[in-house]
Amino acid sequence: MAERATSLGWQVIRGYAVLVYIFMFLPVMVVVLLSFNASQFGSFPMTGFSFRWFIELWENEAILRAFRTSVILGLLTAAISTTLGVLASLALVRYRVPGANMISTILIAPILVPEVVLAVALLLFLNFLGVNKSFTLLLFGHVIFTLPFVILVVQARLISIRRDVEEAAMSLGASPVQTFFQITLPLMLPAVLAGALFAFTISFDDITGTLFWKPGGVETVPTQIFAMLRNSISPEINALGTVMIVMTVGLPLLGAAIARQISKKSGL
Protein backbone atom coordinates (compact mmCIF):
# COMPACT_ATOMS: atom_id res chain seq x y z
CA MET A 1 0.00 0.00 0.00
CA ALA A 2 2.65 2.51 1.10
CA GLU A 3 4.58 1.78 -2.04
CA ARG A 4 1.56 2.40 -4.20
CA ALA A 5 0.53 5.60 -2.46
CA THR A 6 3.91 7.20 -3.08
CA SER A 7 4.35 6.11 -6.70
CA LEU A 8 4.44 8.85 -9.31
CA GLY A 9 1.16 7.79 -10.94
CA TRP A 10 -0.74 8.16 -7.71
CA GLN A 11 0.87 11.54 -7.04
CA VAL A 12 -0.37 12.76 -10.42
CA ILE A 13 -3.86 11.45 -9.83
CA ARG A 14 -3.96 13.03 -6.42
CA GLY A 15 -2.78 16.37 -7.78
CA TYR A 16 -5.37 16.23 -10.54
CA ALA A 17 -8.16 15.48 -8.05
CA VAL A 18 -7.13 18.50 -5.98
CA LEU A 19 -7.23 20.70 -9.08
CA VAL A 20 -10.74 19.48 -9.94
CA TYR A 21 -11.93 20.31 -6.43
CA ILE A 22 -10.34 23.75 -6.60
CA PHE A 23 -12.02 24.39 -9.94
CA MET A 24 -15.38 23.36 -8.51
CA PHE A 25 -15.26 25.03 -5.14
CA LEU A 26 -13.09 28.13 -5.66
CA PRO A 27 -15.96 30.24 -7.09
CA VAL A 28 -18.12 29.27 -4.13
CA MET A 29 -15.36 30.22 -1.72
CA VAL A 30 -14.88 33.55 -3.48
CA VAL A 31 -18.58 34.34 -3.06
CA VAL A 32 -18.47 33.46 0.61
CA LEU A 33 -15.29 35.45 1.21
CA LEU A 34 -16.50 38.53 -0.66
CA SER A 35 -19.76 38.53 1.26
CA PHE A 36 -17.69 39.59 4.28
CA ASN A 37 -15.86 42.30 2.32
CA ALA A 38 -16.26 45.80 3.74
CA SER A 39 -15.77 47.51 0.37
CA GLN A 40 -18.53 48.74 -1.92
CA PHE A 41 -17.08 46.77 -4.83
CA GLY A 42 -17.31 43.03 -4.97
CA SER A 43 -13.69 42.38 -5.87
CA PHE A 44 -10.29 41.54 -4.41
CA PRO A 45 -8.28 42.69 -2.57
CA MET A 46 -10.68 42.73 0.39
CA THR A 47 -10.60 45.99 2.28
CA GLY A 48 -11.82 44.70 5.61
CA PHE A 49 -14.11 42.26 7.36
CA SER A 50 -17.71 43.25 7.92
CA PHE A 51 -21.26 41.94 8.26
CA ARG A 52 -22.49 45.06 6.45
CA TRP A 53 -23.96 43.21 3.47
CA PHE A 54 -25.78 40.72 5.65
CA ILE A 55 -27.35 43.60 7.56
CA GLU A 56 -28.37 45.30 4.33
CA LEU A 57 -29.81 42.01 3.21
CA TRP A 58 -31.84 41.80 6.39
CA GLU A 59 -33.15 45.29 5.79
CA ASN A 60 -34.06 44.73 2.13
CA GLU A 61 -37.81 44.22 2.05
CA ALA A 62 -37.84 42.61 -1.43
CA ILE A 63 -35.25 40.01 -0.45
CA LEU A 64 -37.03 39.17 2.78
CA ARG A 65 -40.26 38.72 0.88
CA ALA A 66 -38.52 36.46 -1.64
CA PHE A 67 -36.97 34.50 1.20
CA ARG A 68 -40.32 33.96 2.86
CA THR A 69 -41.85 32.89 -0.45
CA SER A 70 -39.02 30.42 -1.04
CA VAL A 71 -39.30 28.92 2.43
CA ILE A 72 -43.08 28.56 2.24
CA LEU A 73 -42.85 27.15 -1.28
CA GLY A 74 -40.10 24.76 -0.21
CA LEU A 75 -41.98 23.53 2.84
CA LEU A 76 -45.22 23.01 0.93
CA THR A 77 -43.37 21.27 -1.90
CA ALA A 78 -41.59 19.02 0.58
CA ALA A 79 -44.82 18.17 2.42
CA ILE A 80 -46.82 17.40 -0.72
CA SER A 81 -44.03 15.60 -2.58
CA THR A 82 -43.16 13.47 0.41
CA THR A 83 -46.75 12.45 1.06
CA LEU A 84 -47.39 11.64 -2.59
CA GLY A 85 -43.99 9.98 -2.93
CA VAL A 86 -44.52 7.72 0.08
CA LEU A 87 -47.98 6.71 -1.12
CA ALA A 88 -46.76 6.07 -4.67
CA SER A 89 -43.80 4.04 -3.41
CA LEU A 90 -46.06 1.96 -1.18
CA ALA A 91 -48.37 1.24 -4.09
CA LEU A 92 -45.54 0.39 -6.46
CA VAL A 93 -43.53 -1.75 -4.04
CA ARG A 94 -46.15 -3.38 -1.83
CA TYR A 95 -49.12 -3.92 -4.11
CA ARG A 96 -49.46 -5.46 -7.51
CA VAL A 97 -50.51 -2.46 -9.56
CA PRO A 98 -51.24 -3.13 -13.21
CA GLY A 99 -48.65 -1.29 -15.31
CA ALA A 100 -46.47 -0.63 -12.27
CA ASN A 101 -43.34 -0.35 -14.41
CA MET A 102 -44.87 2.22 -16.69
CA ILE A 103 -46.25 4.26 -13.80
CA SER A 104 -42.85 4.15 -12.17
CA THR A 105 -41.15 5.36 -15.37
CA ILE A 106 -43.65 8.19 -15.80
CA LEU A 107 -43.15 9.30 -12.21
CA ILE A 108 -39.37 9.29 -12.59
CA ALA A 109 -39.44 10.91 -16.06
CA PRO A 110 -39.34 14.56 -14.90
CA ILE A 111 -35.70 13.97 -13.88
CA LEU A 112 -34.82 12.84 -17.38
CA VAL A 113 -36.64 15.59 -19.27
CA PRO A 114 -34.67 18.86 -19.47
CA GLU A 115 -36.17 21.27 -16.99
CA VAL A 116 -36.82 23.96 -19.59
CA VAL A 117 -38.86 21.54 -21.65
CA LEU A 118 -40.85 20.48 -18.63
CA ALA A 119 -41.39 24.09 -17.59
CA VAL A 120 -42.61 25.20 -21.01
CA ALA A 121 -44.76 22.11 -21.44
CA LEU A 122 -46.56 22.60 -18.14
CA LEU A 123 -47.07 26.29 -18.87
CA LEU A 124 -48.48 25.66 -22.35
CA PHE A 125 -50.68 22.89 -21.06
CA LEU A 126 -52.18 25.10 -18.37
CA ASN A 127 -52.60 27.96 -20.86
CA PHE A 128 -54.46 25.52 -23.05
CA LEU A 129 -56.72 24.69 -20.13
CA GLY A 130 -57.15 28.41 -19.53
CA VAL A 131 -55.56 28.34 -16.10
CA ASN A 132 -53.64 31.47 -15.13
CA LYS A 133 -50.24 31.51 -13.53
CA SER A 134 -50.51 31.44 -9.78
CA PHE A 135 -48.66 30.41 -6.67
CA THR A 136 -50.57 27.10 -6.78
CA LEU A 137 -49.30 26.47 -10.29
CA LEU A 138 -45.75 27.23 -9.15
CA LEU A 139 -46.18 24.80 -6.27
CA PHE A 140 -47.62 22.22 -8.64
CA GLY A 141 -44.58 22.54 -10.90
CA HIS A 142 -42.18 22.14 -8.01
CA VAL A 143 -44.02 19.04 -6.81
CA ILE A 144 -43.77 17.44 -10.26
CA PHE A 145 -40.10 18.24 -10.34
CA THR A 146 -39.22 16.98 -6.84
CA LEU A 147 -41.51 13.94 -6.70
CA PRO A 148 -39.09 11.62 -8.58
CA PHE A 149 -36.34 12.26 -6.04
CA VAL A 150 -38.64 11.39 -3.15
CA ILE A 151 -39.91 8.27 -4.92
CA LEU A 152 -36.41 7.05 -5.75
CA VAL A 153 -35.18 7.43 -2.19
CA VAL A 154 -38.29 6.05 -0.48
CA GLN A 155 -38.72 3.16 -2.92
CA ALA A 156 -35.14 2.01 -2.38
CA ARG A 157 -35.68 1.97 1.36
CA LEU A 158 -39.05 0.27 1.16
CA ILE A 159 -37.61 -2.57 -0.92
CA SER A 160 -35.09 -3.21 1.84
CA ILE A 161 -37.80 -3.47 4.49
CA ARG A 162 -38.72 -7.12 4.61
CA ARG A 163 -42.35 -7.90 3.99
CA ASP A 164 -42.35 -10.51 6.77
CA VAL A 165 -41.80 -7.82 9.39
CA GLU A 166 -45.13 -6.30 8.37
CA GLU A 167 -46.74 -9.74 8.20
CA ALA A 168 -45.49 -10.44 11.71
CA ALA A 169 -47.10 -7.23 12.97
CA MET A 170 -50.41 -8.15 11.35
CA SER A 171 -50.29 -11.69 12.70
CA LEU A 172 -49.94 -10.17 16.17
CA GLY A 173 -53.17 -8.24 15.73
CA ALA A 174 -52.21 -4.92 14.13
CA SER A 175 -54.47 -3.84 11.28
CA PRO A 176 -52.80 -2.83 8.00
CA VAL A 177 -53.08 0.86 8.95
CA GLN A 178 -51.66 0.25 12.43
CA THR A 179 -48.90 -1.82 10.87
CA PHE A 180 -47.99 1.07 8.59
CA PHE A 181 -47.71 3.58 11.40
CA GLN A 182 -46.12 1.23 13.93
CA ILE A 183 -43.68 -0.63 11.70
CA THR A 184 -43.34 0.50 8.08
CA LEU A 185 -43.24 4.26 8.61
CA PRO A 186 -40.71 4.21 11.47
CA LEU A 187 -38.48 1.89 9.44
CA MET A 188 -38.56 4.07 6.37
CA LEU A 189 -38.38 7.34 8.30
CA PRO A 190 -34.75 8.07 7.38
CA ALA A 191 -35.67 7.82 3.69
CA VAL A 192 -38.80 9.90 4.17
CA LEU A 193 -36.77 12.64 5.87
CA ALA A 194 -34.11 12.46 3.20
CA GLY A 195 -36.77 12.70 0.50
CA ALA A 196 -38.37 15.71 2.21
CA LEU A 197 -35.00 17.44 2.47
CA PHE A 198 -34.24 16.74 -1.16
CA ALA A 199 -37.60 18.17 -2.15
CA PHE A 200 -37.06 21.26 0.00
CA THR A 201 -33.55 22.01 -1.22
CA ILE A 202 -34.39 21.34 -4.87
CA SER A 203 -37.41 23.61 -4.64
CA PHE A 204 -35.40 26.19 -2.71
CA ASP A 205 -32.73 26.52 -5.39
CA ASP A 206 -34.82 25.98 -8.47
CA ILE A 207 -34.71 28.83 -10.98
CA THR A 208 -35.50 27.51 -14.46
CA GLY A 209 -38.98 26.21 -13.76
CA THR A 210 -39.70 28.99 -11.32
CA LEU A 211 -38.99 31.69 -13.93
CA PHE A 212 -41.63 30.16 -16.21
CA TRP A 213 -44.25 29.36 -13.62
CA LYS A 214 -44.15 32.22 -11.12
CA PRO A 215 -46.97 34.71 -11.35
CA GLY A 216 -46.08 38.41 -11.75
CA GLY A 217 -44.82 40.08 -8.59
CA VAL A 218 -43.86 36.84 -6.86
CA GLU A 219 -40.14 36.27 -6.47
CA THR A 220 -38.25 33.41 -4.87
CA VAL A 221 -34.68 33.84 -3.67
CA PRO A 222 -33.10 32.53 -6.91
CA THR A 223 -35.31 34.68 -9.15
CA GLN A 224 -34.66 37.66 -6.87
CA ILE A 225 -30.90 37.17 -7.23
CA PHE A 226 -31.36 36.84 -10.96
CA ALA A 227 -33.33 40.09 -11.08
CA MET A 228 -30.77 41.90 -8.95
CA LEU A 229 -27.92 40.71 -11.17
CA ARG A 230 -29.59 42.28 -14.17
CA ASN A 231 -29.35 45.72 -12.58
CA SER A 232 -25.97 45.71 -10.91
CA ILE A 233 -23.60 43.40 -9.16
CA SER A 234 -24.21 44.42 -5.58
CA PRO A 235 -22.16 42.82 -2.80
CA GLU A 236 -25.51 42.05 -1.20
CA ILE A 237 -25.77 39.23 -3.72
CA ASN A 238 -22.64 37.67 -2.31
CA ALA A 239 -24.22 37.74 1.12
CA LEU A 240 -27.45 36.26 -0.20
CA GLY A 241 -25.41 33.61 -2.04
CA THR A 242 -23.69 32.72 1.22
CA VAL A 243 -27.04 32.32 2.96
CA MET A 244 -28.24 30.07 0.12
CA ILE A 245 -25.09 27.95 0.32
CA VAL A 246 -25.45 27.52 4.06
CA MET A 247 -29.07 26.44 3.66
CA THR A 248 -28.68 24.11 0.71
CA VAL A 249 -25.54 22.47 2.03
CA GLY A 250 -26.34 22.62 5.73
CA LEU A 251 -29.86 21.21 5.60
CA PRO A 252 -28.99 17.95 3.85
CA LEU A 253 -26.01 17.48 6.15
CA LEU A 254 -28.24 18.00 9.14
CA GLY A 255 -30.76 15.61 7.64
CA ALA A 256 -28.10 12.97 7.03
CA ALA A 257 -26.95 13.28 10.63
CA ILE A 258 -30.49 12.83 11.94
CA ALA A 259 -31.14 9.89 9.61
CA ARG A 260 -27.94 8.25 10.77
CA GLN A 261 -28.96 8.71 14.39
CA ILE A 262 -32.32 7.04 13.70
CA SER A 263 -30.70 4.20 11.78
CA LYS A 264 -28.19 3.60 14.52
CA LYS A 265 -30.99 3.17 17.01
CA SER A 266 -33.00 0.79 14.86
CA GLY A 267 -29.96 -1.15 13.78
CA LEU A 268 -30.54 -0.89 10.06
Least separation in angstroms between residue 162's CB and other proteins is 7
For every residue of 75-113, which 3-state class applies, written as one string? HHHHHHHHHHHHHHHHHHHHCCCCCHHHHHHHHHHHHHC
**117-146: contacts with other proteins (CB under 8 A):** none
In the complex with other proteins, which residue's Cβ is closer, 173 or 216? 173
Note whether 261 binds other proteins by CB under 8 A.
no
Q: Rule CB under 8 A: say whether 26 interacts with other proteins.
A: no
Nearest to 237 by CA among 225, 248, 246, 223: 225
* Cα–Cα dist 242/205, whole Å: 13
Q: Of 97, 90, 105, 99, nearest to 158 (Cα)?
A: 90
Classified as helix, coil or strand, 188 is: helix
**Should residue 105 be labelled a site residue for other proteins when binding is judged by CB under 8 A?**
no
59 binds other proteins (CB under 8 A): no
Q: Of 11, 40, 43, 266, which lies in the binding site for other proteins, with binding defined by CB under 8 A?
A: 266
Q: Are 188 and 147 in contact (CB under 8 A)?
A: no
Q: Is 268 in the site for other proteins (CB under 8 A)?
A: yes
Binding mask 172-201 for other proteins (x = CB under 8 A): xxxxx-xx--xx--xx--------------
Residues that bind other proteins (CB under 8 A): 162, 164-165, 167-176, 178-179, 182-183, 186-187, 265-268
